Structure 1
Amino acid sequence: MARDALIIEGYLAALATRLPGPRRARVAVLDELRDGLTEAAARHAESGSPPRVAAEAAVGEFGTVDQVAAAFAGELVTQQARHVVTALVVTGPLVGVWWLLLLAPTSPAGIPVLPLIGAAVLIGLLVLATTGSLSRWLPSAAPRRALTGATAVVVGCMAGDLGMLTALAIGFDAKLSALAIVAVLASLIRLSCSVYLLHACVSARQALSGDDRVSPRRSAG
């Protein structure tokens, strides 16, 4: 690989370690920056600069790794919040239906975590509404607030699954039927996914907190 390409790829590799958010969104940002850097380096080369100097000048135009990471942090954190909430809202009914079939015959009011699950669903829908196309009519949620909402949804889902499993374990008048086994497995799978999503939220918050100390500079690519 040419020295100028190594400079650009090294810059992007360093930036990749600082960007929060879902993998697909981070890759899209890096691809966008790679195109912009390549075009900027080509312009400098056309002006007579050696390839290595042209690449260094292009990188200098875009700003430091900290500055560029800060410029994209809010956008990527918001996408992370939407990704987390969407994953849980989509999988929620797939898990909840088994518990409802198992426990509802006793009494839906006897399911202790229903209010908590309902609150998590409402928060999740609010996050999606205030960070998507509906934000044209609703107040737009700031990245930090959207991430806080997503974290609350994850914690609520985890508490709901643990509550259901605990209720079944201490004797919720439910025999260990095939339905009970499916419900337990569904909750255990979602719990493991929730741990991963919670870690993603914590990492995104750390990245956002770190970028608050950097003056953002969104480069025009």
Structure 2
Amino acid sequence: MTTADPVEDYLATLTTSLHGPARAKAAMMREVRDGLADAVEAQTRFGVPHDQAAHRAVRDFGRADEIAPSFQRELTIAQTRRTARAAAVAVPVLVVCQLLLHTAARDPDWRLGALAAHLAALATAAGLLAVTALTATGPLTRLLPTPHRLPAAVAWTATAAAVGMALAAVALAVTSALSANWPLTALAGVLATVAHGVVAASARACRQCARAVQEHR
């Protein structure tokens, strides 16, 4: 019978406990794997059996539950930046939807006007928070710690923007049949639908990372 590889077991445990962007997480795990492999190789050169060397390398690296919090913070910052960029890209989509709905709201239906005003507020909030998040998680991290509530704030703002785009897509789909400029209205509705999917997925991942950081604290 063959025994399980301590390094692979360690990597599997650490990988399962972490949440974040797939590419960043994969790169992080490669660095850990390479570091453990180097440690095992260094010991086997001195005649230490491979299994014993693997156990020592894992022990010296630190328990998974001890190093997971710092790794999770790094992944959460990466996901926060990704979600902030998605929210920033969503701003022009929200503005276009708001302008089109504002134009359509010249008829007696006050609900379109209310939705247009709501989208304008969301675009402003998403833009400001995106700039703040990208600044706070960029060069400023060398001088100041990242606010621990920032990931959750970005996640929920992006969630609100995604919901707003979903509502805008429905409203534009309904009004496109009545609009004189229906091709542009319909195109904006499709764009809002696509942007909603991108922002909603990123916001969901950011909420998961924010919860994971709180669990590791």
| Partner of residue 115, structure 1 | 121
Where do residues 73-92 of structure 1 align in structure 2 (5 Å cutoff)? 73-92=72-91
| Partner of residue 187, structure 2 | 182
Q: Which has the higher helix share?
A: 2
After TM superposition, the score normalised by the length of structure 1 is: 0.79
For residues 141 and 71 of structure 1, do their structure 2 counterparts lie closer, same or farther at Cα, with a shift above 3 Å needed? Answer: closer
Residues 117 and 156 of structure 1 are in contact (CA less than 8 Å); yes or no, is this contact kept in structure 2?
no
Where do residues 1-221 of structure 1 align in structure 2 (5 Å cutoff)? 6-93=5-92, 95-96=93-94, 98-99=96-97, 102-103=100-101, 105=103, 110=113, 111-112=116-117, 113-135=119-141, 139-142=144-147, 144-165=148-169, 167-168=171-172, 174-175=179-180, 177-212=182-217
Counterparts of 1:98 and 1:187, CA distance in 2: 9
Counterparts of 1:175 and 1:17, CA distance in 2: 53
How well do the aligned residues superpose, as a CA RMSD in angstroms? 2.9
Task: Determine what percentage of the aligned residue pairs are the same residue.
Answer: 30
Unmatched runs of 5 consecutive residues or more in structure 1: 213-221
Counterparts of 2:120 and 2:12, CA distance in 1: 45
Q: Helix, strand or coil: the match of 2:149?
A: helix
Relative contact order, CA 8 A, sep 6+: which one is greater? 1
Unmatched runs of 5 consecutive residues or more in structure 2: 107-112
**Structure 2: which amino acid aligns with 1:191?**
H
For residues 11 and 155 of structure 1, do their structure 2 counterparts lie closer, same or farther at Cα, with a shift above 3 Å needed? Answer: same
Counterparts of 1:117 and 1:97, CA distance in 2: 6
After TM superposition, the score normalised by the length of structure 2 is: 0.80
How big is the shift at 1:43? 2.3
For residues 90 and 67 of structure 1, do their structure 2 counterparts lie closer, same or farther at Cα, with a shift above 3 Å needed? Answer: same
Counterparts of 1:120 and 1:195, CA distance in 2: 13
Aligned residues between the structures: 206
